Structure 1
Amino acid sequence: MAVTASQSQIDAIVFDWGGVITVPPGPIVNRLYREAGVDQGKLKDRQDRYRDDDPDSQFAKLERGELTLEDYLHWSRNDLPGAELIWDPSSPHFLFPQLKVISEVVARISELRTRGFLIGLLSNNIAEAWPVVAGGLALDELFDVVVNSAFVGMRKPEHRIYFHIVDQLGVPVERVLFLDDNRTNVEAAVACGMHSIEVEQPIPALGTLERRLERC
């Protein structure tokens, strides 16, 4: 028998988008970089330098809406030619349309709402790419609260964005369960007081989610 919100210590469940509701992005990103002809050695050097928790990286600024996509593409093109193409909506290598939504996850989100749980979407995203996300999900039907980093000027793993969505949901932070495929983001959520699940594969994570709802 599926646990309802009244039977659980969890009131709200917050989902990341890429890699949680969609297929894992990593293999697709790697393929698109190869297809775009990006120098793999230089790409590895750039990826090794990048840190998810660096608030001053160009990508962090893009995700907070402090940098326009046009400016980011210009910077990326000069830094590593071809790498900008996966973020360019006009390019055939644009990442976002490749991230297919997983129907089983969407169905479970809908079911969780009928079981009384509040549902949130918390995504580090790009303002110019948001129509792709919104076009692939019935946001108003699936989520009680939607937070896009580019529209609120903060991003995961900054603690303030976790507290922002908790405030929007109107529940205590310790009664929120957060799912993300990025370990840094999961650790930050735990540091804020949330329950968290690190998602490696979206469909198996649904089983983990149900067990956590029973246990919490």
Structure 2
Amino acid sequence: MLTGVLIDWGGVLTTGLSDAIARWIAADRIDGDHYRDVMRKMIDHAYHGDGESVVHALERGEIDGSAFERDLAARLLTVDGVPPVADGLLARMFAGFERVDAMYDMLREVRKNGVKTCLVSNSWSNEYPRHDWDEFFDAVVISGEVGMRKPEPRIFHHALEQIGRGGEECVFIDDIEANIVAARALGIAGIHHSDANSTIAELETLLRLTLRRA
């Protein structure tokens, strides 16, 4: 029986990253094609490449956001052919994230039924809206605060310890497939998130609970 839920933040408890990035590209006049090429290479290396990268360092908190902003800004171009302003770049990139209330409602119902919950998020030196998190999470694991990142096995072990559950007792929800694969390798059930309705329906089946209000 599953009695624990580990869950990502950006793109799962918020609207999708692509929507937020599209708003930022328009607002900062970023060369979108160039940005996507740069980011594709950075993320591919972060999840599938050999050796360490600036993304690894950022997500583990080994470098601060301002250092990463300078690095990323130097790689990007605006439509005017110059790098974007580095200061505040990450805040502007993620400003378009919006809370998905249905997912928070689901977490509230999960906890009412005695299931433990833990947020497990890779941070990019971003601010999180923590004002009401006590209502939704029994534990919070932010990569930059614990010095570990998904999909490293140790961050999953750490999250499980925080809620006192074994891997076989938990399900992990994330929008990045590589993270789901890593969790499943540890015996944790995985839900690859694409939208609130399908994720909640799959979670209801796994937990054998009704999580949506009539």
TM band (smaller chain): 0.7 to 0.9
The one-letter code matched in structure 2 to 1:59 is V
Tell me if 1:140 matches 2:137: no
SS of the residue corresponding to residue 129 of structure 2 reads helix
Q: Deviations over 1:68-107 (max 9, x none)?
A: 1111111112121238577433xxxx13342111112111
- With normalisation by structure 1, the TM-score equals 0.84
Give yes or no for contact 2:69–2:88 (8 Å, CA) kept in 1: no
**CA distance in 1: counterparts of 2:85 and 2:168, whole angstroms:** 40
Paired position in structure 2 for 1:38: 30
**CA distance in 1: counterparts of 2:90 and 2:36, whole angstroms:** 20
Give yes or no for contact 1:29–1:86 (8 Å, CA) kept in 2: no
The one-letter code matched in structure 2 to 1:65 is G
**CA distance in 1: counterparts of 2:67 and 2:37, whole angstroms:** 22
Give yes or no for contact 2:177–2:192 (8 Å, CA) kept in 1: yes
Paired position in structure 2 for 1:211: 205
The one-letter code matched in structure 1 to 2:74 is N
Give yes or no for contact 1:64–1:155 (8 Å, CA) kept in 2: yes
**CA distance in 2: counterparts of 1:160 and 1:116, whole angstroms:** 25
Give yes or no for contact 1:32–1:86 (8 Å, CA) kept in 2: no
Task: Show the 5 A alignment for 1:117-128.
Answer: 117-127=115-125
**CA distance in 1: counterparts of 2:136 and 2:188, whole angstroms:** 21
Paired position in structure 2 for 1:157: 151
Paired position in structure 2 for 1:110: 108
**CA distance in 2: counterparts of 1:156 and 1:181, whole angstroms:** 12
- With normalisation by structure 2, the TM-score equals 0.85
Number of aligned residue pairs: 199
Say which structure, 1 or 2, has more relative contact order (CA 8 Å, 6+ apart): 1
Paired position in structure 2 for 1:82: 84
SS of the residue corresponding to residue 130 of structure 2 reads helix
Runs of 4+ in 1 over 6 A off after TM superposition: none
Paired position in structure 1 for 2:80: none
